[in-house]
Amino acid sequence: MPNIDENLAFAPATELRELIAEKQVSPVEITQLYLDRIDRLDPQLNSYLTVTSEIAMDAARKAEQAVTDGDELGPLHGLPISIKDLETTKGIRSTAGCYVYRDRVPDFDSIVVERLRGAGAIILGKTNLSQWANFRSNSSMSGWSALGGQVRNPHMLDRNPCGSSSGSGAAAAASLAAGTVGTETNGSIICPSNVNGVVGFKPTVGLVSQDFIIPISSSQDTAGPMTKTVMGAAMMLNAMATGAAKTDYAATLD
Which residues are known to be catalytic?
A: 84, 164, 188
* Helical axes 13-21 vs 230-240, angle rounded to 10°: 70
Rounded distance between C-alpha atoms, residue 147 and residue 12, angstroms: 30
* Residue 14 neighbours by CB distance under 10 Å: 18
Rounded distance between C-alpha atoms, residue 128 and residue 50, angstroms: 8
Rounded distance between C-alpha atoms, residue 174 and residue 144, angstroms: 18
* Helical axes 13-21 vs 27-45, angle rounded to 10°: 150
Assess whether the previous peptide bond of 110 is cis (omega < 30° from 0): no
